[in-house]
Amino acid sequence: MRSTSLRTGSRRRTLAAASALLALAPVATAQTTSMPALRLNQVGFETTGPKAATLVDTRTTPLPWTISDASGWVVLTGETTVVGQDPTSGDHAHVLRFEALRTAGAYSLSAGDHTRRIQIADTPFATLKRDALVFFYENRSGIPIEAAHVARPDLARPAGHAPDRATCLSGTDTRGNVWPGCDYTLDVSGGWYDAGDHGKYVVNGGISTWTLLNAWERASLRGLADPYPDGAADIPESGNGVSDLLDEARWEVEFLMRMQVPVGARLQVPVGLFTRDQPLTFTEIDAGGLVHHKVHDVKWTGLPMAPADDPEARFLYAPNTAATLNMVAVAAQAARLWRTIDPAFAERALTAARRGLAAAKRHPNLYAVGDFNGGGNYGDDALDDELYWATAELFVTTGDPALLDDLRASPFFLSAPTAGPRPTGDIGWNSVGALGTIALAQAADRLPEAEREAARQSLITTARAYLADAQGQGYGHPFTGPDYSWGSNGNLMNRAMVLGLAHDFTGEAGFRNGVTAALDYLLGRNPLDQSYVTGHGDRPMRNPHHRFWAHSADPAYPAPPAGVLSGGPNNTAMSDPVAETMRGQCLPQTCWRDDIAAFTQNEVAINWNAPFVWVTAFLSPT
């Protein structure tokens, strides 16, 4: 999986760009004529929460709507608000709002000669929350997925890559660079498979684990119930007295620490940033404490493929600064969360984090370079955001004043995606600066109150910008485009996380409503009338790009479990065989197909399901 983040300058879309998008509208409309014109969250609405739907209708005046109960009695009426033409969907949209309906039950919503059933409940997302987390157990490496812990027997499978022992790649990459290898082997068993393949990538594992741990820490700091108390997710560790959320995250934390280079090891690695076509040169360094970028097969395997059947040799790929700082951030975070739960593990994590930060400072310019078969590259040309994030997490854990000095010297200090001294850009695996600010904003006793409040205000300002993005567009979610990138649904969930934090800091209902609007979009309030989540909604996603959940490719393999989030619409990196046929033929929000071959649009990944867990836990705190 090789995703990119939503572009932060989206609200500066020019009139020319909007006109170019609208020129594609007839094509997009032709693709969607069989879909219901009334689009809404297909799972349900909270009794006391916001309630909105979108009606696609070319009429330019408000239209009446009604809501009837199960007996046919009309319980609420109203008129649509005309939004008009939406450039990224091609739809002429009306919006319906029915917050006044606050009685749980099943209803029918009718507007413009169209009717949809709706469900209102006190906690409509509780099952969704559980399923979103179970995704991680079912993507574990190095352990059997047991029938006792999955919803269907066919989802059980033998352990893949158990053990997962690998040495460094020695040989030629696809650009002709000859990598010298190393003289050691690491046991890097465990962790999660990243996406549709069997690779394990530190920079994607880092942000994913951090997000899960932050969901737990946020609830703890606010005095809320554990969103996943022991036994809630029915994983093998259930019954050990520890939150299932922490147990699941620990499976990856342990893997990240296993990727650390042994003390005293010397490696030949590229130092500095190389252009794509520039031959690499290798320099010998003391690599002890650095972290390998990834481990994966020497070449791409076919699809479908159960992990235990993988025939390919696996290798470690060179350590670099970004991977090291990802491990540092997560290990530091884990060290404080497990301090009273498992002191020995907490101390081991803190030791790994300190070693890693020292190594990253010793080698600040090691990049993910080269191009390899069998796995994604996850290259990142900017490393100062990772340094800020890792330093912030270690400072929150230790209170070391020297780390605070380093933080204050960072250009990202107290910045958020759209606000602060140097805005960080939308949160993503290669844009993690905002995570450092979140850690500082949530820590009650580390920063002077003025600086802590500045961190909060940066996040609140960003959240207001996201809400502004939702205004005046037909589907109400906090993103306007014009481009929807690889993993747009996961990126939308990252925006929703910032909105949730802004609600924590201010208590303003509008921020929480924005979180709900983002989830509404994923669950069907979108131009494709599509729930992008397996097992939930009237039209759930069914055919993810995944080597084991591959029933559509081979009936001997299982269909996916519930709670798996599709990457979503993507009109920027249309390189798979399905997307290639759509290039220039779809508007951004409609560039998606429920097809196992559509890896740029329908792959699944840990860094998309992680903020999905965060959001569903936020909306269903118990």
What would the pLDDT profile of 342-356 be if each residue is shown by its tens digit? 999 999 999 999 999
* Cis peptide bond N-terminal to 555, omega within 30: no
562-580 pLDDT, tens digit each: 999 999 999 999 999 999 9
Domain regions of the chain by residue span: 142-189+194-381
pLDDT at 277: 86
Separation CA 395–CA 417 (nearest Å): 21
pLDDT for 8: 31
Is 272's pLDDT higher than 60? yes
Q: Is the pLDDT of residue 2 over 70?
A: no
Residue type, 522: L
The CATH number of the structural domain formed by 142-189+194-381 is 1.50.10.10
Pairing, β 38-39 against β 52-56: antiparallel
Mean pLDDT of 307-311: 98
Alpha carbon separation from 570 to 27, 114, 311, 481 (Å, rounded): 16, 29, 32, 11
For residue 385, CA distances in Å to 9, 268, 276, 530 come to 19, 26, 22, 35
What are the CA-CA distances from residue 307 to residues 158, 249, 299 (Å)? 8, 20, 14
* Residue of 497, 391, 392 lying closest to 439 (CA atoms): 392
> Between 251 and 27, whose confidence is greater?
251
DSSP H or E run through 344 = helix 343-362
- Neighbouring C-beta atoms of residue 319, cutoff 10 Å: 30
114-135 mean pLDDT = 98
* pLDDT attached to residue 368: 97
pLDDT for 296 equals 98
Q: According to the model, what pLDDT value does residue 369 have?
A: 95
pLDDT, residue 472, reads 82
Cα Rg, the chain, nearest whole Å: 24
Catalytic residues: 197, 545, 594, 603
| Mean pLDDT for the stretch of residues 521-534 | 98
- Residue 150, CA distances (Å) to 139, 229, 383, 544 in order: 12, 18, 39, 18
Cα 546 to Cα 222: distance, rounded to the nearest angstrom: 37
Mean pLDDT for all residues in the chain: 94
Q: CA–CA separation, 446 vs 395, rounded Å?
A: 8
Determine the pLDDT at residue 287: 98
Q: What is the pLDDT of residue 276?
A: 85
Residues 598-619 have pLDDT tens digits of: 999 999 999 999 999 999 999 9
Helix (H) or strand (E) holding 332: helix 321-337
What local confidence, expressed as pLDDT, does residue 35 receive? Answer: 87
Residue 14 scores a pLDDT above 60: no
Q: How far apart are CA 300 and CA 296, in angstroms?
A: 9
Mean pLDDT calculated for residue range 284-301:
98
Check residue 622 and give its pLDDT.
87
pTM: 0.95
pLDDT above 80 (res 378): yes
Listed in sequence order, the residues at least 6 apart from 604 whose beta carbon sits closer than 8 Å to its beta carbon are 135, 195, 196, 544, 545, 546, 560, 564, 565, 566, 567
7 — pLDDT class (breaks 50, 70, 90):
very low
Q: Is it true that the peptide bond before 304 is cis, omega within 30 degrees of 0?
A: yes
Confidence check: pLDDT of 25 > 80: no
Of all residues in the chain, the percent with pLDDT exceeding 90 is: 93
Q: Parallel, antiparallel, or unpaired for β 64-68 and 74-79? A: antiparallel
Q: Can you give the three-state secondary structure of 80-124, one letter per residue?
A: CEEEEECCCCCCEEEEEECCCCCCCEEEEEEECCEEEEEEEECCC
**DSSP 3-state assignment of 459?**
helix
